[in-house]
Amino acid sequence: MGPINNIKSATGKGVEDVVVKATASSEDMPRGPACLIEEGLDPCSLIIFGASGDLTARKIVPALFCLFVYGVLPPRTLILGCARSPMDDDSFRARMEAVVSSRPHYHPDKWAEFREMLFYQPIEYGSLDSLKAMEARLRRLEGRGHKRGRLLYLAIPPSIYRTSVEAIGKVGLAKPEGEHILWTRIVIEKPFGRDLESAIELDGLLHKFFREEQIFRIDHYLAKETVQNILMFRFANAIFEPIWNRQYIDQVAIFAMESGGVEHRAGYYEEAGVLRDMFQNHMMQLLALTAMEPPARFEADRVRDEKVKVYRELRPFPLEDLGSHLVLGQYTRAAVEGKEVPGYREEPGVAPDSLTPTYAKMKVFVDNWRWQGVPFYLTSGKRLAKKVTEIVVQFHRIPHTVFREVIGEEIAPNRLTLGIYPEEKITMTFQTKRPGARVCLRAVTMDFHYNEGYTGPVLESYEKVLLDCMLGDQMLFWRQDGVELAWAFLTPVLEECETCADRAQRLKFYRAGSWGPELPELREPPPAISSQ
C-alpha cells in the first residue's frame, strides 16, 4: 500500500464519515501478461459436457475466448463441445459467437481465429458407444505427434453426473496419462451433492475413475481477485495478524447480498434454497479465509489444510435453539425502483406455497483459541436492495472513554471492510478530531481501491479457474475433506429446517428490494453492511 493522501473535506455535524484515500504505488504493480501466467501451458483439449447449455455459452466459452485474446491459450488448443442437442461445428460456433460478440473482448479477427478451435459432437451421456465415437473424433482432431493434456468439464445437471462419469470412466477417458496424453483432469461445478451422504456418494463415484489430483471442484468465489486478496492482506502485512483475534475483534460479518431474483433457475433453486446455493460453498470459503491460521507456505494443500481446520472447529448449531442462530427468509412482491417485482412464490416454476428460503442470516462460532466467543454473522439473500459482497471486521469498543464528559456520545468501534463487490476495496474506519474549537469526533474512512494504479489485465473468475485447471493448480478448488466437513456442519441444520413442524412459521418474509427480514431473534445486533 502506498502513501496516505487526499483527505477529503468533511461536511455536516457531529460524528460523520470522511474518506481518506490510500493509493497503491505504481512501482509495486506487475504489468502485462507476466502477471497472468509464468510458464507456457501444455497444449490442451477441452471437452465440455453440457455444451448446449447456459453455462457453456455464458461463462466457459467467453472465458476461453478471453484467455485466447490475452495470448494465454497454447497453440493447438482444441475445444470439443458435447451435448445431446443435434448441432454441427458451424452451428455451435455461431451459437457461441452470438454470446461472445456482445462481450468487451470481442474482436471479429480474433474470433475468426478462435472459432477454428471449436468443434461439436452430439452425444448420449450414458451411452458407451456414443462416448467411444466422441473419443475417436477427439483423437482425430488431436492428431499425432504432440503430447497434450485433456480437461473434461462437466457443465451438466447433477442428475446426470452418475451416468456420465460411469461412461467417461468405462471408455477410458479418465486415464491420468497415456501414449499421447500428458494429463487428464475433470472439472465439476457445485452443488457437490445436496447433503453429507450424497456428497460422499458423488466423491466415491469420481474416485472410482479419477485420482484426487485429477479432480477440480469449482467455487468461482475463490477465483475472485479480492477473495484471493484476503490471504495477501492478512499474511503479507505485519500489522493486521497480531490483532486478528478475539482480544481485538468483537464480531465479523460476511455479506453476499444479491439484488437479482431466482430468474430462470427455479427448478434448481426450489430444491437447493439459499443454504445449499450460497452457504455450503461460497460463504464457507469466505469464512475460512477470514478465520484460518497462516499456512506455512502458499501451496494448495497447505492452504486447504488450514481451511479444513476451520470447518472442523465450527461449533455445531444448537438445534434446540436454532432461531437465535439462524433466520430464514423469502422475498415477496414489491415495487423496486418504480417497477413491480414478483415475489419468490410468483416466479415461474416456483410452487405457490413454496417454503424454500431465499435469504439466511446465521451466527456461527469457530471454537478455537483465536476465535473463542467471536460471532461470525453470515448473510446472503436474493432480491435485496443492492448487490454487495463484503466482509466487515468490527473491533472492540474502547475500554474506557476519556471524552465522556465532553462528548457524551458512544464512540463507534473501528471497522475494517474487505469489499469484494461492487467495490473491490479495503476500508478502515477510525475516529479523529473534527477541526474546530469544540471537542468533537468524526469517523473517517481510509480507503484503498483494489485496481487503483493497475493497468494490466484482470481475469474474471471463470478465466482464472480455467487457467488454473490447465496449469494443474488446485489452490482455488475445494478438496473433498472440506466439502464433507462443510456438509457435516450444515446437514443437521437443513434436516431440522426442512422437517420441523413449524417450518412455515419459521420463514420470515421480506419485501423485494429491502435488506431482508427484521431480526429480533439474533440477540446482539450484527454489524450492518457498509452501504446500508
Catalytic residue numbers?
282
The answer to whether 424 and 451 have CB atoms below 8 angstroms apart is yes
Of 180, 161, 169, 276, nearest in space to 214 by CA: 169
Task: State the minimum distance, in angstroms, from the CB of residue 291 to ligand BG6.
Answer: 20
Indicate the DSSP class of residue 467.
H
CA distances from 103 to 57, 238, 334 (A): 12, 41, 32
Question: One symbol per residue from 436 to 475: x for binding ligand BG6 (CB under 6 A), - otherwise; what is it?
Answer: ----------------------------------------
Distance of CA 396 to the CA centre of its chain: 29
What's the min distance (Å) between Cβ of 284 and ligand BG6? 12
Residue where the block lists cell 479495503: 426
CA separation, residue 84 to residues 52, 125, 139, 156, 265 (Å): 8, 8, 20, 11, 20
Within positions 362 to 401, which residues make up the interface with ligand BG6, using CB under 6 A? Answer: 389
Nearer to ligand BG6, 148 or 276 (CB): 276
| Nearest residue (CB) to ligand BG6, 270 versus 305 | 270
Closest to ligand BG6 by CB, 138 vs 466, is 466
Q: Provide, rounded to whole angstroms, the least separation between the CB of residue 460 and ligand BG6.
A: 9
Q: Kindly state the DSSP code that residue 10 receives in the 8-state scheme.
A: P
| CB burial of residue 180 (10 Å; 0-12, 13-18, 19+) | middle
3-state secondary structure of 465: helix
Cβ neighbors of 370 (< 8 A, separation 6 or more) are 244, 245, 246, 291, 293
Round to whole Å and give the CA distance between 250 and 434: 26
Q: How far is the CB of 219 from ligand BG6 (least distance, A)?
A: 8
Contact residue for ligand BG6 among 277, 390, 447, 468 (CB under 6 A):
277
Minimal CB distance residue for ligand BG6? 277
Shortest distance in whole angstroms from residue 461 CB to ligand BG6 = 7
Contact between residue 459 and residue 470 where contact means Cβ atoms under 8 Å apart: no
| Distance in Å, CB of 24 to ligand BG6, minimum | 24
Per-residue x/- marks for ligand BG6, 196-225, CB under 6 A?
------------------------x-----
Work out how close the CB of 162 gets to ligand BG6 at its nearest, in angstroms, rounded to a whole number. 21
The 8-class DSSP code of residue 529 comes to P
Closest contact distance (angstroms) between CB of 165 and ligand BG6 is 21
Label residue 23 exposed, middle or buried (CB < 10 Å: 0-12, 13-18, 19+).
Answer: middle
Round to whole Å and give the CA distance between 382 and 378.
14
- Candidates 258, 423, 447, 463; binder of ligand BG6 (CB under 6 A) is 258
Nearest CA-CA partner of 351 in 198, 517, 510, 504: 504
- Omega cis (within 30) before 191: yes
Q: Judged by CB, which is closer to ligand BG6: 277, or 484? A: 277
Compare residues 260 and 408 and give the one whose CB is closer to ligand BG6. Answer: 260
Name residues contacting ligand BG6, limited to 326-365 (CB under 6 A).
none
Q: Which is nearer to ligand BG6, 195 or 277 (CB)?
A: 277
Q: Which lies closer to ligand BG6 via its Cβ, residue 223 or residue 366?
A: 223
Whose Cβ is closer to ligand BG6: residue 164's or residue 358's? Answer: 358
The closest alpha carbon to 223, from 488, 526, 471, 393, belongs to 471
Interface residues toward ligand BG6, by CB under 6 A: 220, 258, 277, 389
